[in-house]
Structure 1
């Protein structure tokens, strides 16, 4: 476990059940406290507005919706987040290409590194290859 991650409240925004379960296990193994998961934009926005959240793992595509309204809300609130996506970085919306991103599938150690970077103030980390 990485000490900076223990007890951190992480909102998981992911619509694929299997991926969500895998990420939940990864977060638990890192010592994080899971918020959610949220499987859609509206549910995620409600959790962002109503929960104490340290960081967010945000899937770009949620049940045929893009998650940019959630990203906008997170930026407005100053909540760090990373995009979790199967897309390349150049497919992210302009203005969000410099944000932390992990390309699916990724290893738990990559998730730990990016989350720790978020808490250290690093929002841009190389995507997983």
Structure 2
């Protein structure tokens, strides 16, 4: 199966990731596909500031564990707003609990092209 070229052009993607180099790689990959990056945020407080700054977010990539804090308060607010997102983690899906079982989970190390493809699909088909 060949993947069609992914476009995130004009989309604002919220990135919450505490591993600096991974956050930088995600940002570069998404910018190369035409996206604008909100963040990346490496602390929960920074992520909350971005979340509440009044700007539009088209989708998000959330590391499950940010400096030993769980990302779930951010995830809950995105869900309430109808903003599609996916989780990245070194943990397995059981750590998400029933509340987020429907959210895509990408295990680290991350395949960035696959992540971009998945995110573009979430944006294109909200609620699926």
Classify the TM-score, shorter chain. 0.7 to 0.9
Equivalent residues in 2 for 1:74-85, closer than 5 Å: 74-85=78-89
Equivalent position SS for 1:95? helix
Match of 2:107 among 103, 117, 125: 103
Unaligned runs of 5+ in 2: none
> Does structure 2 conserve the Cα–Cα contact (< 8 Å) formed by 1:82 and 1:101?
yes
Match of 1:33 among 31, 36, 51: 36
The count of residues paired between Structure 1 and Structure 2 equals: 123
Equivalent residues in 2 for 1:3-82, closer than 5 Å: 3=7, 5-50=8-53, 51-82=55-86
Deviations 1:34-81 (A, max 9, x none): 111111222212211212111110000001100000001111111111
> Does structure 1 conserve the Cα–Cα contact (< 8 Å) formed by 2:84 and 2:126?
no
TM-score, length-scaled by structure 2: 0.87
Q: Any runs of at least 4 consecutive aligned residues in structure 1 with deviations exceeding 4 A, and if so which?
A: none
The CA RMSD over aligned residues, in Å, is: 1.6
Unaligned runs of 5+ in 1: 125-129
Deviations 1:65-102 (A, max 9, x none): 00000001111111111101111122212210221221
> Does structure 2 conserve the Cα–Cα contact (< 8 Å) formed by 1:12 and 1:37?
yes
